[in-house]
Amino acid sequence: MTLNETPLDGEEVGGSYSGSLLALRRVACGGNGYHGDEAWLPTVTREPVEKAAAGGKRALHSGTTPAFEDQGKTPKRRMSDAEENPLEETEEYGEIEMQEEDDEEEEYPNFEGLENMQQELKEVNTLAWIESPEEEEEEEEGEEEGREFGEEAEAEDGEEGEVEIREEEEEDRKGKEEGEEEGEGEERVEEHEEEEAGKGEEVVEGLGKEAVKDEALEADEEASGAQEESTVEPEEITSSMISLERFMQTDSQTVLSETSLNSGSESKHSLQSELLETFELPRSPGSQLEFLDLDVTTSGEPLISFPERQPSGELDQRPQDELEEEEGRDLEPERGDLEQEKRERRKEKRVSYISEKSEKESQPKARITKASLVSTATEDVLFQSRESANTYPLTMTWSFGWNSTLPVYYIRENERVLLYASGHTGVIYNVLKNNQHHLQGHPNIISCLCISEDRRWVATADKGPDCLIIIWDSFTGIPVHTIFDSCPEDNGIRAMAITRDAKYLATISDAEIQKVCIWKWTLAAETPACTLDLPKEYGFQNYLIFNPTNNKELVSNSKTQAIYYTWYPEGGILAHSAPVLTEKTFNKLVGKFSQSVFHLNLTQILSATMEGKLVVWDIYRPPPSASSSMGFPHIKPCKLVHLQKEGITVLTTVDSYIVTGDIRGNIKFYDHTLSIVNWYSHFKLSCIRSLSFSKTPAVPPAENTNYPPDCTLKSDHFVVRNFIIGTSDASVYHLTVDGTKLEKLFVEPRDAICAISCHPYQPLIAIGSFCGIIKVWDYEQKKYLFSRVFEKGLGVQSLTYNPEGALLGAGFTEGTVYIFDAMSLESAISEPFRYSRSSVTHISFSHDSQYMATADVSFTVAVYVVRVKHGQRVWEYLARLRSHRKSIRSVLFGVHLDSNEPRLLSLGRDRLLIEYNLLKSYKDHLAVLDIHRTDQGSYPTCMVWYPPLTKELFLLICNSGYKVKLFNSATKMCRKTLLGPVYGSPIEQIQILPVKSTLELQKRYMVFINRDKVGLQILPVDGNPHKTSALICHPNGVASMALSYDGCYAFTAGGQDRSVVQWEINLSALEAAVSLGGEDLTPFYGLVSGGREGKFYRELEDYFYYSQLRSQGIDTMETRKVSEHICLSELPFVMRAIGFYPSEGEIEDMFNEIRFSEYVDTGKLIDKINLPDFFKVYLNHRPPFGNTMSGIQQSFDILGFTNSKGEKAIQREDFLNLLQTKGEHMTEEEMTDCFATLFGLNPEGWKSEPAASSVKASEICLEEELPDEITAEIFTTEILGLTVSQDSRQDPRITEAEQSF
């Protein structure tokens, strides 16, 4: 997922944390999360009825086919409970609509003219939607012709106006309500032309109301028969519901003018209120059908949608006599009819003209409106070439590797399109085009996935905190629905299945008490339709499948138990049958279940076992007429069939065959009687993990086909669909049955990937896995080049190219070190080095490739050197030294400043930075030059040479306290401490991004990884939070990182998720984010509560200026000298006053940072600091999460003992002794002064006041003031006087952000 990620889990400093976790869930993941290059698409539910009435039918009658979303929005599609097929074709519903309209014409002959008029409007509307931009000139000509037509109509209609008005007045006396509405419309015909603006709207209002009421009356009569029709023709109901749904979801597709109607606002309101009454959604199924039928049969839809769309200004400009001419010309053929019919015709034609003109004026907007991406998509849309600008600093472009424990699905055969999971990403891979589309949005590793029978809808689920279920459209890669709260316990999903028609989704959770849920995802339901908790004795159910012909039946199995489910939607009941099966059942060994499937006869269930047997279960279904006393359907074991010798790992059905795959790589086909028909055993495959057949039926045998014969006596042609094979060694094959052609599509590492390295000047990446394979890829062409497989037991732990790119160093898990030729992976040394007894974690080459250094998990550094022997360069072992007492975090070569000789440094978790003397080292002796301690409380995590952005050369070291420290490369003095990226965990690896040219040397960037994220940092580091961006790359942990030689790509290895992800770097997006964050101190104000105008910063200003008074003396009578600076000696006091309590070592680092800040440029030391610089020093040095109870408790856990209450405590004597002897120990006087101040025995400001004196030590009795046993809570609350939150009292080990006090 590629976006600027905000820090997680309460770990962002300041106040910018709010809402970041929710934003990540919605984006990363699906729905409602980020997915590839498509935009993030929010969920869309049913539109309000007003919007549907005003605009929904416009799209319905214009030939469009809206489906799930509109104009790039991803809705959760809603369907009625009665709908059976979410993929119903629009042509089908169109036929039903026309049929019902024909029935309506027979029943209501008086509306024949109205129906004809509506049909004309539908044709006009259709043209408005399909009109191309090139027809703009024709449209303008049509508008001019319409104006000429209106002038002619004005002349003719003027002669008949008065007669028609008198006729209408006579008719008005017959019906009060109808007469009032008609009178309002016709009185405005006689008004002066100056009042045309108001008149036009009033006419439309009157006609619109009458039309709506007529429609409502018509709908009530038609809807009475809808329920009867629904029982006879269910397809019509389904189509009508689909029509309703599309009606409700096409508001954004409707061509509406956004100009507000000033003079006609009352008319608009009346129209919408009438529509609310007419289209009110009932709750009962019968009333729902009334509404659905009304949606299809109502004939006056344009009458109620177009006037609202027409701006009032445009209506005002139309001459009134145009309407009269239109009326007269249309009424002439009807002179002999009844007066009522004449009025209806005149009213219809008047509104028809209004609608036609409104339609013409709205056509340009119709061309702008975009159709639904999902509804208009075809199979080839996903991989069509399209250029889109990357708007995120990091964008996933390729995923190497796949999770071979999950199935691989065959989506399309014409282009060999596959679906599989790689880490937390679903991958749709086009084999022929060698292209990938990534389904991004899951926050955890994908645990299961499934696909519908038509290969259109893909469902993926993960396992872990904030787990998600996402349903995708495989044609577009768009997420159409996301289920956020599928597992409140955050256990995730263990098994999942989708019905054949893709309407329902079933899941089984991964909790100790597993829960089976059925989801009506097409209705955008956030809660399951039914749930069932499974007892523990059933075992962990890990396979689930629906009955292909009955959505209400399922079967699942664990290794020991098969369960049959029957779903009753009307009652929300999920009944199950789980008969106990033992060896005594058949008096034979059954074995552990692998997969289950419904038999082709649909009356039995088959369960495969790892003993090569099939358990046949009979399904007993009570007849529908039976009483409830007969119970629910259930299964009983029928027989045990010993099908084969090899354990069956895959069991599925295709066409008329039952198919098995076993642990020996055999694939066998059986008929419905379990008689073998054909098998494939000569391919020598590894254990079969998945079989996926093409959705395209097999081609019948012909002269040019070469189908193999089956093994029956007739030796008929064995005809079956082509299929994809996934094996346990992470290989994927395609089998073409015609000709029996097996094609290996790809082979990926089947074990953890921890070693990656990029070539220094070619687009090559080497990937090493624990399974003993090294693969080299061209990452620009996405092409596999060559590989080498090692014997069992040699797992690749580390890889590094030398600076020339000619050699590749490799460290293995059992301690062996190899040096390969980079272009062939042939060994460049006669024998591998075997001096280490443990896994080699780090390999590094010197700049001249004369030295190679390694580090292993035994805290040992080994050095190898190149010697020239007999005219050839030969690598030899030099020496090794166990220089650290904890794990080594980095091994780094550099160059001496006064020479070109290499220098070697190592950094360990023991907080030691060690430099070795290579010149004085000899065989079996590795000399140490110097040792420096880098931290006090935190431990270092990684180091790298800081780019030469300044005159001073630095080592950049990151630590576990989220700090980035710069050490002088020569003196090892800590010159600067800065706040590093805060994204859930400390930085674990860093690399400086290479530059493409010398012009970019002054603008450098850093790429980093922490526990589960990869990110970018703009250099120089200064603590600005807007200079960083990160996103989740491997939820289960990042093992390694590499950068391309040109700085365009970053690569991350996921370790146990067996994947490597390629990220495209877009620096301009990161620079844009920095510019939006502000300049100078603006980005830093957000790191403190309240910002620049907040209480905290105001107090900081007060303390800063009070320190000037304090340094000058409180009671002095001399003139005050107010300055913008304070002296460095006051810095610790101000820090402590605002709540930061640095150690003496941290204070010394602050002093050095300020003193030498300008020394390189001016040669002068600084002894004062101003407020802005002080503010930055405070933010960069303070703990990122403030003072935490967990840190204090951890100290007591280490130093204390368990008292009678089960708490960790320290005796009073031991406590005082520790303060005076350990760490930065205190003198007795200092300790007494501190306790006197804490207990309130010293006067306030006694150290600053000359007249004040401290309490003598003899006057303080610590035995009386301190308790015998001191716990962490007593020390915090009673001695230090700090307040601990209630959450910290209950659980001192909760997240640090919640423990702050």
Q: What is the pLDDT of residue 203?
A: 36
Q: What is the pLDDT of residue 937?
A: 85
CB 359 within 8 A of CB 125: yes
Over residues 1137-1163, the mean pLDDT reads 90
- Whole-number mean pLDDT of the chain? 75
Which of 336-340, 473-477, 735-739, 965-969 shows the lowest mean pLDDT across its residues? 336-340
d(CA 480, CA 477): 9
| Of residues 1140, 401, 301, the one with CA closest to residue 732 | 401
Confidence of residue 972 (pLDDT cuts 50, 70, 90): very high
Q: Exposed, middle or buried, 170 (CB in 10 Å: 0-12/13-18/19+)?
A: exposed
Whole-number percent of the chain with pLDDT over 90: 50
d(CA 21, CA 916): 45
Here the contacts of 49-52 (C-beta below 8 Å, separation 24 or greater) are 49/275, 49/276, 49/279, 49/280, 49/281, 50/272, 50/275, 50/276, 51/251, 52/247, 52/248, 52/251, 52/279
According to DSSP, the residues that pair with 1201 across neighbouring strands are 1209
Q: What share of the chain is helix, strand, coil (3-state, %, to 5)?
A: 30, 30, 40
Contacts of 938 (CB under 8 A, 6+ apart): 959, 960, 961, 963
According to DSSP, the residues that pair with 827 across neighbouring strands are 820
Question: Within 13 Å, how many C-alpha atoms sit on residue 607's CB side?
Answer: 31
Confidence of residue 14 (pLDDT cuts 50, 70, 90): very low
d(CA 369, CA 1100): 55
Confidence check: pLDDT of 1063 > 50: yes
Q: What is the pLDDT of residue 866?
A: 94
According to DSSP, the residues that pair with 644 across neighbouring strands are none
Tens of pLDDT along 109-167?
A: 444 444 444 444 444 443 344 344 444 444 444 444 444 444 444 444 444 444 444 45
Tens of pLDDT along 1175-1225?
A: 999 999 999 887 778 888 888 999 999 988 888 999 999 999 999 998 888
Confidence check: pLDDT of 1255 > 60: no
d(CA 574, CA 518): 9
d(CA 1076, CA 1092): 17
Confidence of residue 346 (pLDDT cuts 50, 70, 90): low
First to last CA, the chain: 35
Tens of pLDDT along 871-923?
A: 888 999 999 999 999 999 999 999 998 888 999 999 999 999 999 999 999 99
What does the block give as tokens for 482? Answer: 């996301």
**DSSP strand pairing (840-845 vs 851-856):** antiparallel
Q: What is the pLDDT of residue 8?
A: 35
Question: Within 13 Å, how many C-alpha atoms sit on residue 1114's CB side?
Answer: 11
d(CA 880, CA 864): 9
Confidence of residue 627 (pLDDT cuts 50, 70, 90): low
Confidence of residue 1243 (pLDDT cuts 50, 70, 90): low
Over residues 239-253, the mean pLDDT reads 37
Using alpha carbons only, what angle is made at residue 718 by residues 714 and 720, rounded to the nearest 5 degrees? 150
Q: Starting at the edge strand that comes first in sequence, how are the strands of the sheet with 493-498 ordered?
A: 493-498, 505-509, 515-519, 530-533
Over residues 431-444, the mean pLDDT reads 93
d(CA 289, CA 111): 23
Contacts of 960 (CB under 8 A, 6+ apart): 938, 939, 940, 941, 986
Residue labelled with tokens 């065989």: 923
Count H helices, E strands: the chain? 31, 60
Using alpha carbons only, what angle is made at residue 416 by residues 415 and 419, rounded to the nearest 5 degrees? 125
> What's 698's DSSP letter?
P
| Of residues 734, 749, 727, the one with CA closest to residue 399 | 749
Q: Starting at the edge strand that comes first in sequence, how are the strands of the sheet with 974-979 ordered?
A: 940-945, 954-959, 963-968, 974-979
Here the contacts of 580-588 (C-beta below 8 Å, separation 24 or greater) are 581/615, 581/637, 585/637, 585/640, 586/637, 586/639, 586/640, 588/640
Tens of pLDDT along 665-677?
A: 999 999 999 999 9
3-class DSSP assignment, residue 817: strand
Tens of pLDDT along 448-480?
A: 999 999 999 999 999 988 899 999 999 999 999
Over residues 195-207, the mean pLDDT reads 40
Residue labelled with tokens 């709207």: 201
> What's 922's DSSP letter?
E
Q: What is the pLDDT of residue 148?
A: 43
d(CA 326, CA 1118): 99
d(CA 1179, CA 1171): 12
d(CA 872, CA 878): 18
Q: What is the pLDDT of residue 172?
A: 52
d(CA 908, CA 856): 11
Q: In 725-763, which positions are buried (b, 16+ CB within 10 angstroms) versus exposed (e)?
A: bbbbbbbbbbbebbeeeeeebbbbbbbbbbbbbbbbebb
Over residues 774-779, the mean pLDDT reads 96
Q: Exposed, middle or buried, 583 (CB in 10 Å: 0-12/13-18/19+)?
A: exposed
| Of residues 434, 474, 437, the one with CA closest to residue 745 | 434
Over residues 1019-1029, the mean pLDDT reads 92
3-class DSSP assignment, residue 515: strand
